[in-house]
Structure 1
Amino acid sequence: MSAQPAKTAVQLGQRDRLPEIQLVRAIAIVGVLCVHSTSNATVEMTNSGIYWLYNFINIMAKFGTPTFIFLSSFVLFYNYIDRPIGAGMMKSFYRKRAVGILLPYLLFSILYSIVTHVLYYSDQSLGESLHSFIVKLLTGKAYTHLYFVFINAQFYILFPLVLWLFQKRPRLIAWSIPIGLAIQWGFVLMNKYGMQIANKGSWSPSYFSYYMLGAFIGIQYPRIKQWLSNQRNNTSKLTLQAVGSLAGAWLAAGLAHVWIWYEARLYHTQYNSLLYEGLWNAYSITSALVLLGLAALGVRFGPQWLVRVLTRLGALSFGIYLLHPLLLLAYRHFPLNTGNSMLVHLWYAGGFTLALFGTWIIVGSCARWLPFASALFGQLPAKPKKKAQADNNQTNSYRVPLSR
């Protein structure tokens, strides 16, 4: 498969809108919130009769962050593969990332550092606190979830080089997924058997298979959509087998991953770390493909009210990702002291509800009413205008944003 030749500015503006992307983002953020809202339960509820359910939700929802990584690469290559690389393109690219990604990362790193200092490190001197903040800022460790932004920033540095290679050597595109797997697993094996790297999960090579999967699918997506369109009225046996194999691989990898974590958490069974890596990698890759397919079907056949709701959630997902741990942190400062297991289960469910709807309301309200809200939450949906214009904005919100 080869990259398309460079196009004119008019042609570049004719990229198809992809409403399914916002739906995948919506599902991915729900997955992230499920993982974070059940993390304490996987430690504290081991004596519960439904511990298996907490473990199941916590592990099966781990598709969230890898899917966001996949989408980041997908959007970049979908939008930029036909664009000539030059000084103007590079300036625009990095300006958008600096404003839409790095500035919110900086502001939330400051916010979480202040909160954790007040709660846990108030005895530190100002010099110690500043040194700790700078180290954490430069390693994505200001709070547990900010590593995602940090590793994406690393890929943004590499992106122009990878894009240039794919444009100059289009045959490499067909090898992008094997290349991504080789880089990721080379990094994993080096870390296990050779030079161990601190905070391995904070470095982009740990996720390179998702970046390269996103690159391949993003570049080929117009052809993929055309091929799928041709299959609608003539679904071949081979197509059904491929879909069935993907779904089967996704379910098998997910359930196996759930099982080994259940055994490890509840019975302290020890497994080779490569087994965890392999099952998580297989589950995450197949999850990204399954979710993209389901989202495409949802846009075409799903209830339009649900598509609109999920589209809005997907458009706010980056802000929700940045903010939700703050609400969970505050919520967990008021645990239930009760022997009533049903109330405890409801308390954990309340944490998820707050993380989803509380942050959704806050970020959505800021997007509508707060000037310069994008400095905090990245690119946000356009503010509503007159009705005729609002209808047009709703359509435009389906366009793949370039700042992610």
Structure 2
Amino acid sequence: MQTKPRHINEIYVTRAIAILGVLIVHATSYTIIDMKGTAYYGFYNAINTFFKYGTPTFILLSSFVLFYSYSARPLTGKLMASFYKRRMLYIILPYVLFSVMYFLYHYDVYATYLAQDEMLSEFFKRLMIGKASSHLYFVFISIQFYLMFPLFLWFFKKFPRWSIHAFWIGFLIQWAFVFSLEQGWVTVENRMSISLSYMAYYFTGVTLGMHFDKVERFFSATRDALRSKWGVWTALLWLAWAAAAFGHIYVQYLSRTGLAAPSQMTYQLFWNAHTYLSAFMLLQVSFVIYRKWAPWLVNTLMHLGVTSFGIYLLHLLVLNKYNTTFQTGDPVMYHLFIAGGFAVSLVVSWIVVGLVMKFIPGYWILFGAKPKRMPKKERTTETPVDNKGQRVSSSAP
């Protein structure tokens, strides 16, 4: 049986916050063009840039859960066969089916420049590079990582001392790739669809997954933890995160408005720092949310986290339909139109995925796996934790 992280509920909360970020970025994507030259451009640029933490956070979390789940188990052919079976059924199959859906949705566009006998080859080309829709690159790079996962798992199990250093090794690999692209030594299309662009996140998942017991007190952010050395690290994290987020927003603003032309290295630096630190910050926030917020609200967020993969796959169909159905030229109504796009894509996708998962036995074909039991916070008071940030059992009702 696959081992689950001790704080899987908090991870579901983090996934919920991450999917909200993804939806906000996509809902505001048109504003980067529509609002150019207006007084609102700075606001929409800030919103669109700030919430770019979503996909990188999903990447780090997926690696973290995998290494937590598999690193303590004997590495056998049976284990890897089970691993690939689950990826095939719950990740790759939904990816292929949604690639078909998005390709068919945009069929009329392809028909304007492709002959009928070219359609099938165009689909397979897009399927193999994660481009049947703009957001499916996330699943495509995840598949790349799954192909490398057994090798990484074998290495870090055989040389466990290196696992504590994995996070900075990931940075070296990622930035060697970025530097090679900048220097022209390597040429690739769609650099952000290549897993090497995210190795800092994947390898940080190695360190967290194999050594979470050493840092979970930091993420717990309890009063006791904040009064220890972890309080200093928390302050440094939040200060560095705020600076990186501001820098990322500013660099994007300069680039999008044409006021300056920051290099790709500069952009990558601020994007990497902002989104990387955001994943840590969101994990810490999720621990606090789980511990302190009302059960009904926490349970709502955890349900959103459970359904987040399905929502990720589906939401652009909903958003695209909304954007083509509702249009406005009124400056005031435009802001409501953008907010409505976010709300509709969230609510409709969430309802559809939730109902399918609940009532249709073969839900996994479209939306992937779900836990055998939905996570639930039962207590109506703050959950007691020890000085390591772990929940303490109690006989209280």
What TM-score results when the alignment is normalised by the length of structure 1? 0.88
Structure 2 residue aligned with 1:223: 214
Structure 2 residue aligned with 1:38: 28
Please point out which of 343, 368, 385 is paired with 1:378.
368
Structure 2 residue aligned with 1:389: none
Q: How far 1:319 sits from its partner (Å)?
A: 0.4
Confirm or deny that 1:206 pairs with 2:194. no
CA contact (8 A) 1:316 1:381 kept: no
Structure 2 residue aligned with 1:273: 264
Flag the 1:297–1:121 CA change in 2: closer, same or farther, 3 A. Answer: same
Structure 1 residue aligned with 2:104: 114
State how far apart, in whole Å, the 1-side matches of 2:367 and 2:221 are: 39
Q: How far 1:280 sits from its partner (Å)?
A: 0.6
Q: How far 1:144 sits from its partner (Å)?
A: 0.4
Structure 1 residue aligned with 2:15: 25
Confirm or deny that 1:47 pairs with 2:66. no
Structure 2 residue aligned with 1:139: 129
1:240 counterpart SS class: helix
Flag the 1:146–1:14 CA change in 2: closer, same or farther, 3 A. Answer: closer
1:61 counterpart SS class: helix
Q: How far 1:49 sits from its partner (Å)?
A: 2.0
Paired residues for 1:286-305 under 5 Å: 286-305=277-296
State how far apart, in whole Å, the 1-side matches of 2:224 and 2:342 are: 41
Confirm or deny that 1:77 pairs with 2:77. no
Q: Deviations over 1:341-382 (max 9, x none)?
A: 110111111111111111111111111222311100101355
Please point out which of 184, 197, 211 is paired with 2:188.
197
Q: How far 1:233 sits from its partner (Å)?
A: 3.2
CA contact (8 A) 2:248 2:267 kept: yes
Flag the 1:195–1:78 CA change in 2: closer, same or farther, 3 A. Answer: same
Structure 2 residue aligned with 1:263: 254
Structure 2 residue aligned with 1:105: 95
State how far apart, in whole Å, the 2-side matches of 1:393 and 1:320 are: 17
Bigger Cα displacement from structure 2, 358-367 vs 112-121: 112-121
State how far apart, in whole Å, the 2-side matches of 1:315 and 1:270 are: 40
Flag the 1:177–1:368 CA change in 2: closer, same or farther, 3 A. Answer: same
State how far apart, in whole Å, the 2-side matches of 1:354 and 1:54 are: 19
CA contact (8 A) 2:303 2:374 kept: no
Give the letter for the 2:45 counterpart: N
Confirm or deny that 1:62 pairs with 2:13. no
Give the letter for the 1:115 counterpart: Y
CA contact (8 A) 1:367 1:381 kept: no
State how far apart, in whole Å, the 2-side matches of 1:162 and 1:396 are: 35
What TM-score results when the alignment is normalised by the length of structure 2? 0.90
Q: How far 1:139 sits from its partner (Å)?
A: 0.9
Moved over 6 A (4+): 227-231
Confirm or deny that 1:323 pairs with 2:314. yes
Paired residues for 1:311-350 under 5 Å: 311-338=302-329, 340-350=330-340
CA contact (8 A) 1:41 1:54 kept: yes
State how far apart, in whole Å, the 1-side matches of 2:62 and 2:3 are: 20
Give the letter for the 2:149 counterpart: F
Q: How far 1:124 sits from its partner (Å)?
A: 3.2
Q: How far 1:303 sits from its partner (Å)?
A: 1.8
State how far apart, in whole Å, the 2-side matches of 1:296 and 1:348 are: 31
Between 1 and 2, higher relative CO (CA 8 Å, sep ≥ 6) is seen in: 1
Q: How many residues end up aligned between the 2 structures?
A: 377
State how far apart, in whole Å, the 2-side matches of 1:164 and 1:242 are: 31
Flag the 1:282–1:317 CA change in 2: closer, same or farther, 3 A. Answer: same
Q: How far 1:224 sits from its partner (Å)?
A: 2.2
Q: Percent identity among equivalent residues?
A: 39
State how far apart, in whole Å, the 1-side matches of 2:375 and 2:168 are: 38
Bigger Cα displacement from structure 2, 169-178 vs 244-253: 169-178
Give unmatched runs, 5+ long, in structure 2. 379-397
State how far apart, in whole Å, the 1-side matches of 2:260 and 2:246 are: 17
Flag the 1:175–1:130 CA change in 2: closer, same or farther, 3 A. Answer: same
Give the letter for the 1:133 counterpart: F
Flag the 1:116–1:145 CA change in 2: closer, same or farther, 3 A. Answer: same
Q: How far 1:191 sits from its partner (Å)?
A: 1.2
1:145 counterpart SS class: coil
CA contact (8 A) 1:104 1:378 kept: yes
Superposed CA RMSD in Å reads 2.1
Structure 2 residue aligned with 1:94: 84
2:162 counterpart SS class: helix
